[in-house]
Structure 1
Amino acid sequence: MNVPLWLWLVTGVGLTAVICFDFYLIARNPRKPSLKECLAWIAGYVGLFLLFGLAIFIFEGHEYAGELFAGWITEYSLSVDNLFVTMLIMVSFAVRAEHQQKVLSIGIVIALVLRVIVVSIGSAAIAQFDWLFYVFGAFLLYTAVQLLLTGDKEDEEFKENLMLRGAKKILPATEKYDGAKITTKVDGKRLVTPMLIVMVAIGTTNLLFAVDSIPAIFGLTKEPYLVLTANAFALMGLRQLYFIIGGLLDSLIYLSTGLAIVLGFIGVKLVVETLHNHGVSWAPQIPIPVSLGVIIGTLVITAVVSLLKVRHDRNKELAEVASERSAAEVD
């Protein structure tokens, strides 16, 4: 895929303009968004992605369009799982509801900038050392096994990462918030508020999550342009999704299992296709339609089974309560 410089620039300017407009609306009227508003924004972002995907299909063909869709779905799915940690950060730092939109937006921008750097370095390294795909594949398989072993037994407490601890030591910070300001004056000294620390926490945590997602998307496409745009579109709309999916995350009890299957499949795909490219006759190439089918099918089945299990457990619990009440009335 030959992407000219002007297209990189146009794409960068376009994505930046959308993110800036989104941030402008938040800064003008900070508040907790309604469900209707969140759904409208997500629909708009998904619509933009579909138009972009259609353009890739028209000008570059179905193969690259399929890789883009597979990468976007995978990145979006991993982002949904990561929203749980974002919620823990918000609770840990006691961020007020009306300021959470700003925190999320800036955190997402930080994450996007850092991912651009990571993807650029990764693309350059892969171009020189294709054996790195074996490393990526092995890492994804390891991550999949870890997800299967831990399942939904993740710690319900946010743990500070190294970058966040460093920022808290270096930056002179106050103990209290000053509205949505990231700096404030105390006794004539300019200090940062906990608001900036929260933004750093979300941005750096999202970067750490990229350790899983970047190898995963490189397992679906080797094109840096598709990797970056799929990441950008997956992060756009994450703020609105945060306010919608808060209660739903507790119902997606098998999400970790579904993501483990997806990551494991992509890990196997990376290793097998790299072997194929190195001349191993028995190693097949896995077509993108097959990859899309496995990813979408796994996520749909995971969501449906999770919701059915939660519904079954809830009905069972209600039946037990009713049975206990009936027994008490008889006595």
Structure 2
Amino acid sequence: MDVTLGVWALTVAVLCVLVAVDFLVGRTPHDVSLKEAGIWTAVWVALAVAFGIGLLVVSGGGPAGEFFAGYITEKSLSVDNLFVFVLIMAKFSVPPPYQQRVLMVGVLLALVLRTVFIAAGAAIISTFSWVFYLFGAFLIWTAWKLVQDARKDHGEDEYEENKLLKAVERRFGVADRYHGTKLWVEQGGKRVMTPMLVVMLAIGSTDVLFALDSIPAIYGLTEEPYIVFTANAFALMGLRQLYFLIGGLLKRLVHLSYGLSIILGFIGVKLVLHALHESGVHVPEISIPFSLGFIVLVLAVTTFTSLRASKQQENQAS
């Protein structure tokens, strides 16, 4: 796929406009209704579908299939990330009107970090083809870790601040309450951080860990940096609205981690097979249409079994 500098510039410009629109929508702190979240979620999904159809028309079924496979994978990983966002919001008792501002900053940080990781990944892949072995092994290990975590009892889950965040809090101090959307305030004659800034730093630091999973996963579906970037961008754009839309549903997706582990393990195997093929070993490669169908099927089955299991638990409880 030959993407010119002009196409890159136009794409980035359009995405910047969309980010600005999204920021303006959430500029004034307020409680986000299900109707508002639903409308904007539908808008972002429709834009992603329209972009994929545009790729189909301009570049053919191959790039379009890679985009949709990457978009669905990144979107599903983003839903899993929402679990952590929920824990962070609960940990710092973020007032509902301010949650969308925190999420907006978190999405922007994630987009910037993933852009850096995508560029680095593209440079490494073009120089060292054996990196696919590392990506594949990492995804298989991540899949196994997801299964292990899912088998544990998470009834008392709580977000634990990392060492870097604790060090920043000790260095600058934290105000005893929220001051609207302000990030710094004067307290006791000293300039200190507000809890709002601490929450943003917490989400930003977790974004780095999220990118470590998502970037190798999507490079297992396509080696085209343009598709990797746009799939990640569209998946992240609607994350803020999706948080409010399915916030109550997240706890019912009890099998999501199992589904994601299967998907990541599948992509890890796909990467290893691709690396072997590139090394001259005659092994079968997994096609994009098969990958797309497999990912959709796993997510559909996982969602169905999750909702069914949650309903059975509710019936037993009552």
Normalised to the residue count of structure 2, the TM-score between the two structures is 0.95
Aligned match of 2:261: 260
In 1, Cα distance between equivalents of 2:193 and 2:26: 21
Post-superposition CA distance 1:156-180 (Å, at most 9, x none): 1112234433443454542322111
SS in 1 for 2:251: coil
Matches within 5 A, 1:244-323: 244-281=245-282, 283-318=283-318
Aligned match of 1:322: none
- Answering whether residue 151 of structure 2 is matched by residue 132 of structure 1, we say no
- Contact 2:132 2:274 survives alignment (8 Å): no
Deviation at 1:22, TM superposition (A): 1.3
Post-superposition CA distance 1:201-235 (Å, at most 9, x none): 11221221111111100100101111111111111
In 2, Cα distance between equivalents of 1:107 and 1:152: 29
Deviation at 1:312, TM superposition (A): 2.3
SS in 1 for 2:192: strand
Deviation at 1:142, TM superposition (A): 0.7
1:7–1:168 Cα change, 3 Å? farther
- Contact 2:71 2:235 survives alignment (8 Å): yes
In 1, Cα distance between equivalents of 2:167 and 2:13: 32
Deviation at 1:185, TM superposition (A): 2.8
Matches within 5 A, 1:168-179: 168-179=169-180
In 2, Cα distance between equivalents of 1:158 and 1:316: 29
Aligned match of 2:147: 148
1:92–1:302 Cα change, 3 Å? same
Deviation at 1:277, TM superposition (A): 1.8
- Contact 1:111 1:204 survives alignment (8 Å): no
Aligned match of 2:231: 230
1:230–1:170 Cα change, 3 Å? farther
Deviation at 1:188, TM superposition (A): 5.5
Post-superposition CA distance 1:185-204 (Å, at most 9, x none): 33565433121121111122
- Contact 1:70 1:295 survives alignment (8 Å): yes
Post-superposition CA distance 1:253-312 (Å, at most 9, x none): 11111001000000000001111122111x111110100111000000000011112222
1:177–1:313 Cα change, 3 Å? closer
Aligned match of 1:323: none
Amino acid at match of 1:286: I
Of structures 1 and 2, the larger Rg is shown by 1
1:317–1:92 Cα change, 3 Å? closer
Amino acid at match of 1:261: I
Matches within 5 A, 1:61-100: 61-100=60-99
Structure 2 residue runs without a partner (length 5+): none
Matches within 5 A, 1:6-155: 6-27=6-27, 29-151=28-150, 153=152, 154=154
Aligned match of 2:186: 185
In 2, Cα distance between equivalents of 1:215 and 1:47: 26
- Contact 1:152 1:256 survives alignment (8 Å): no
Deviation at 1:250, TM superposition (A): 1.3
SS in 1 for 2:222: coil
Aligned match of 2:244: 243
In 2, Cα distance between equivalents of 1:121 and 1:170: 32
Amino acid at match of 1:212: D
- The percent identity for this pair of structures is 50
In 2, Cα distance between equivalents of 1:85 and 1:122: 25
- Contact 1:151 1:257 survives alignment (8 Å): yes
SS in 1 for 2:185: strand
In 2, Cα distance between equivalents of 1:167 and 1:56: 44
